[in-house]
Amino acid sequence: MKQRALAFLMIQALMLTTAASLSAQALGREVTVSALDNEKFLPSVAYNVDRGEYLVVWHNNWGGLRDIYGARLDRFGKVLSSFTVASGANDRAQPAAAYDLVHDRYLVVWVYDYFGNGSDWDLRGRLVPWNGPDPALTEFTIYDATDSQWNPKVAYSTVDDEFLVVWTNTSAAPASVSLRLVASDGAPGYATTLAGDGVNNYLNPDLVYNQLRNEYLVAYEINQVDVAVRRVYSPGNFTSEVMVANWPDAESSPAVAACPGQDQWLVAWQNSDPDIYVRFLNGDSSVDGGPVAIVAAPGIDRIPAVACLPGGAQYLVPWEYEYAGGLFGIVGQRIGINKALVGGLIQIRPVYGGQTRNAESPAVIGGYLGWSAAWVQERDGSAYSDIHAKMVWDLFADDFETGNTSMWSMVSP
């Protein structure tokens, strides 16, 4: 009997170990999206719901000239193709992308150094078909005022078949946040200042679309110490400002997300410690309870991103996490629409033994059974940096629960 009991305990322990191992392995392979010999910055990720693909865009710095590149990833994170989105004599930088499921293509937006001397940055874009750039679809101007534009973000409305672009006007102090509607054929439409009062600096907007409401939510910083939001509804009208984080310490780097079918928004940010917090908003953008600490621990936690898993009723928040020794990797935390944290920290890109460089600037989007996370990976032994990506799987997505394990054989290490 003792031997049977011991055997049973051993089997139980093995089952628990296997379950823990499976949980720890709910990540795809780390993929090098681009390893060109240059420095790379600020990836953005969009999801093609029609084809189950992802588009990653970023800007390169070739040691004096910046341009925009992109790469297609399949639903398992494998690189399908890569290409130049926009290049030329003057700098192009800070790209963002959104997918238009009606026309099966993306709008990629970026800032453009009009005179080539950094005195006037315009906003430009290009429509990119699902399989890569079309020579007939060239770059076009979205906004070209004489002040400088910075940090654009873009989202697509499935109901109105148009894009919304938001950005910061930075050259004229104090800074403000502006918006412009862009038709699905690229024609610029209504434009206005979203947030600006001539006294405070409004900076670093982020943007998400909620199909249930056919509305957008824009979050931004005020003087780099507070985080606020406004809802934008067709044809570009917006609501009054709602303060999300305005405590005595500095709140910054806002990121926003919405889950399909949910009358809810989620805002993430870092505080001055810095730690990572989120706050839920109701569909009308009123705050829904207090802030939730994603992580509040010794060390530096900064630059969050956030995205919902379509149909998964949960969000993933990745950020830059300081490991022992002072190097930064990328970790993530899931949180449900019910405000409950799901599982523990996910080490998306831990600091490995012998590593001497940082992982930075995480970006994330929800897609096929999981999230696609991309980041900048500094290259060991070099001044160059690369774009890396990895899938973060939802263990309990429908296909897994029904016994279809085909995806696991394709992504397991």
pLDDT tens for the chain, residues 1 to 413 = 334 333 323 323 332 333 333 334 489 999 999 999 999 999 999 999 999 999 999 999 999 899 999 999 999 999 999 999 999 999 999 999 999 999 999 999 999 999 999 999 999 999 999 999 999 999 999 999 888 999 999 999 999 999 999 999 987 689 999 999 999 999 999 999 999 999 999 999 999 999 999 999 999 999 999 999 999 998 889 999 999 999 999 999 999 999 999 999 999 999 999 999 999 999 999 999 999 999 877 889 999 999 999 877 899 999 999 998 899 999 999 999 999 999 999 999 999 887 889 999 999 999 988 999 999 999 998 999 999 999 999 865 443 433 444 333 332 22
Q: Are the beta carbons of 169 and 148 closer than 8 angstroms?
A: yes
Show Cβ contacts of residue 174 under 8 Å, excluding neighbours closer than 6 positions: 196, 197, 198, 199, 200, 201, 202
The residues facing 236 across adjacent strands are none
Among the listed residues 28, 59, 52, the one whose alpha carbon sits nearest the alpha carbon of residue 373: 28
Q: Is 174 exposed, middle or buried (0-12, 13-18, 19+ CB in 10 A)?
A: middle
Show Cβ contacts of residue 187 under 8 Å, excluding neighbours closer than 6 positions: none
DSSP for 365-398?
A: EE-SSEEEEEEEEEPTTSS-EEEEEEEEE-TT-H
- What's the rounded Cα separation, in Å, for the pair 253 and 235? 27
Give residue 256's identity as a one-letter amino acid code. V
Domains of the chain with CATH codes: 28-411 (2.120.10.10)
Rounded to 5 degrees, φ, ψ at 6 are -65, -45
pTM: 0.90
Q: What is the pLDDT of residue 397?
A: 44
Among the listed residues 70, 75, 79, the one whose alpha carbon sits nearest the alpha carbon of residue 52: 75
User: Does the N-terminal peptide bond of residue 235 adopt cis geometry, omega within 30 degrees of 0?
Assistant: yes
Would you call 401 helix, strand, or coil by DSSP? helix
- What's the rounded Cα separation, in Å, for the pair 271 and 213? 30
Show Cβ contacts of residue 239 under 8 Å, excluding neighbours closer than 6 positions: 230, 231, 232, 233, 285
Q: What is the pLDDT of residue 395?
A: 63
Strands 264-270 and 215-222: unpaired
- What's the rounded Cα separation, in Å, for the pair 291 and 270? 12
- What's the rounded Cα separation, in Å, for the pair 30 and 77? 8
